[in-house]
Structure 1
Amino acid sequence: MSPITDLLLFPPPPSPFITAMSVISLTSLAYTGFSEVRGKHLHYSKFWNANPNGRHKGIELSSRVGMLLIYSPALAAALASFAIPGCALSSTRSLLLSAALSIHYFKRVFEVLFIHQYSGQTMLDSVLLISLSYFMSVVSTIYAQYLTENTAEPAFDLKYAGVLLFVIGIIGNFYHHYILSQLRGKDDKSYKIPKGGLFSLVICPHYLFEILGFTGVSLISQTVYAVSFTLGSTFYLLGRSYATRKWYLSKFDNFPKNVKALIPFVF
């Protein structure tokens, strides 16, 4: 690690599992984001039946059931850390980390049950892939933090800055999810161009705030694994937002060309 990195992060633990998961999380998520740009999508949301060679073959689930299967295992893992000795309750940093992960995935489950409006199905293979990714990320983040016990803290303590950034991210993400849920009535299955909030600047502000939330988690943790997962998630959401903007451009002739994909005025 570089001298600057040493000031900001705990040293990598002597754990082959965490080392492997750091590499796997970053590379697999980045590759999946690149696949989104190329038109090879994970089959959920508006891309649930996207397939350049015809309809995607596989087991279909209702979107609500699919989303619950995606987020519930990760939520269970985050909550379980409070009952495992040496994990959530071993230090302030560990407590904040487990709390942030629990709040993040509880919000997701809450939105699935009470906020989101659905217009399609979800494919089981994508559900299982995403669910496993989220579950393993929670387990790995908490375990990597556990391995820092009795290790010297980084020179710069960023956990409270991380809490602030996490709160901004989760509030912004929820707000824009709520806006999306209000675009159509109960029986309306059609898509509309989102308006309100930051939708006048980017088509995926909920992704932008999700990245801020994950960055907050990284600052709370200050471990190499947490940073690797956040970087990988950022690359994935960059690709997914690019594909989403391209989809809106293809579906709506009046889609405003000045609205970017993820980063206002830039991308």
Structure 2
Amino acid sequence: MYSIFYPPLSSAFIAAMSAANCVMFAQAGLSEARGNNMGYSKFSPSSDDGKQLRLRSRDGMLLIYTPALAAAAAAFGIPGVVVTERCRLLCLALLLHFFKRDFEVLFIHQYSGQIPVESAITISLSYFMSTSIMIYSQYLTQFMQQEPTLDLKYAGVVVFLVGICGNLYHHYLLSKLREKGAPEEESKAYKIPKGGLFGLVICPHYLFEVIGFMGISLISQTLFAFSVMVGTVFYLMGRSYATRKWYLSKFPNFPKQVKALIPYVF
């Protein structure tokens, strides 16, 4: 096992958060699959009892991603944190990941509706905590005398770049499906996605997000980064399942052979 990962860190907090990551994300993914969706997607209810405080979608998405971006950027300004090459690559990957997300929010995504503040804050805290703890875990590894036998950080960089480029490309394709100023009736505002890997899975952007986090896990080679990757897989499996179910309900001609997340499998 230690040929791939650093030995477990002597931190009860990080050990607890590693386990909690998998459990919480698995529960969130199961909740998504059952229809209890977070309030920032096309298949979430567009109305409520009027008591929920909401943000414009663009503002809500910036609230979700920017604190994690700030945490990754701050690591470069804290003396003694970004010392090893591995830690530098990890922080750079996280910085690029969340910078890309904010870039997409500002310049690529098309929006309709609003995001509940509670949902935005919950997701924002999750990203911020995961990013901060990942960096902290990597910082602690510099005091270890034992390193993984297999050095996978450069392979991780390649995998991460494939993931982030594939995710960006498919987000761009999705943005072209929405007409600016389109009505909020979803069956009118959305079309069945085409191009890229959309002929194989309805959520190739999620598939490439998983690949991106796999790359981050390989760069880090800590158990906490691995738990973030596994948690992401659990959550996006549930979310992609819900997305496919939504398309099936809205479009009678939706191609049944198109899977949710993994080509030919799921």
8 Å CA contact 2:46, 2:113 repeated in 1: no
Q: How far off its partner does 1:164 sit? A: 0.3
Q: How far off its partner does 1:193 sit? A: 0.9
| Alignment partner of 1:77 is 2:76 | no
Once residues 66 and 37 of structure 2 are traced to their aligned partners in structure 1, the CA distance between those partners, rounded to angstroms, is 22
Decide which of 43, 57, 60 is 2:54's aligned counterpart. Answer: 60
What CA deviation, in whole Å up to 9, does each residue of 1:223-244 have, x standing for no partner? 0100011101110000000000
Decide which of 13, 17, 25 is 1:17's aligned counterpart. Answer: 13
Q: In the comparison of the two structures, how many residue pairs are matched?
A: 260
Secondary structure of 2:3's partner? helix
Q: Structure 1: which 5+ residue stretches go unaligned? A: none
Shift in CA distance, 160/225, structure 1 to aligned 2, threshold 3 Å:
same
Read off the aligned partner of 2:59 and give its amino acid letter: V
Q: How far off its partner does 1:60 sit? A: 1.5
| Alignment partner of 1:101 is 2:94 | yes
Out of 209-218 and 151-160, give the one that drifted further.
151-160
Once residues 59 and 240 of structure 2 are traced to their aligned partners in structure 1, the CA distance between those partners, rounded to angstroms, is 23
Partner of 2:25: 29
8 Å CA contact 1:48, 1:121 repeated in 2: no
| Alignment partner of 1:196 is 2:195 | yes
Q: Structure 2: which 5+ residue stretches go unaligned? A: 184-188
Read off the aligned partner of 2:235 and give its amino acid letter: Y
Once residues 131 and 226 of structure 2 are traced to their aligned partners in structure 1, the CA distance between those partners, rounded to angstroms, is 13
Secondary structure of 1:126's partner? helix
% of aligned pairs identical?
Answer: 61
Out of 230-239 and 16-25, give the one that drifted further.
16-25
Decide which of 131, 148, 152 is 1:154's aligned counterpart. Answer: 148
Once residues 166 and 222 of structure 1 are traced to their aligned partners in structure 2, the CA distance between those partners, rounded to angstroms, is 13
- Which aligned runs of 4 or more in structure 1 are off by greater than 4 angstroms? 54-57
Once residues 178 and 32 of structure 2 are traced to their aligned partners in structure 1, the CA distance between those partners, rounded to angstroms, is 26
What CA deviation, in whole Å up to 9, does each residue of 1:13-63 have, x standing for no partner? 111111111111111011100111111111112134268xx6685111111
| Alignment partner of 1:122 is 2:115 | yes
Partner of 1:182: 176
Out of 160-169 and 144-153, give the one that drifted further.
144-153
Decide which of 39, 64, 69 is 2:35's aligned counterpart. Answer: 39
Shift in CA distance, 56/22, structure 1 to aligned 2, threshold 3 Å:
farther
Once residues 184 and 238 of structure 1 are traced to their aligned partners in structure 2, the CA distance between those partners, rounded to angstroms, is 24
Secondary structure of 1:122's partner? strand
Q: How far off its partner does 1:188 sit? A: 2.1
Secondary structure of 1:258's partner? coil
Out of 6-15 and 42-51, give the one that drifted further.
42-51
Secondary structure of 1:45's partner? coil
